[in-house]
Amino acid sequence: MNINLTLVIQGLAFFATAWLVMKFGWPLIDGAIVARQKKIADGLAAAEEGKRALASASAKQDEVIREARSEAGGIRDRAEKEYASILEKAKSDAIAEGSRQKAVAVAEIETEAHRAREQLSHKVAELAVKGAERLIRKEIDAKAHKDLLDDLISEIAR
């Protein structure tokens, strides 16, 4: 066999194989490559969209946290104001109750003092009547009369 003929046949076989691969195999390989490139591009786009969504969610989270802190501060301020008003009301109620109890105590003291004065005046009246009875029962001289009055005064003083 001739080497030239072998090389020509092998060259024709190579070109025939290359043509068949280009005609039938390459479109399949090219389709797979294009599909893979599209899948990679879609994945990258989804990753970028995910990054944007994450950034947006992070910003929204920060905003929600700021709003929550602001609202918590407002709630705390309202609670402190309500606490202060309740405390002031409790103080004023306590002062009013103390004044009322003081007035009741003063009234009781005045009533007891009035009762004691009445008892004392009854006692003084009784002692005066007793002294007058003693003076009337006996007709006595001035010295005895003075002694009886002194006894009466000392009895009243007790």
Break the chain into its structural domains and give their ranges. 3-157
Q: State the Cα–Cα distance between residues 84 and 53, nearest whole angstrom.
A: 46
pLDDT one digit per residue (tens) for the chain, 158 residues: 689 999 999 999 999 999 999 999 889 999 999 999 999 999 999 999 999 999 999 999 999 999 999 999 999 999 999 999 999 999 999 999 999 999 999 999 999 999 998 888 888 878 877 877 776 766 666 777 778 778 877 777 76
Residue carrying structure tokens 């007793």: 130
pTM value? 0.43
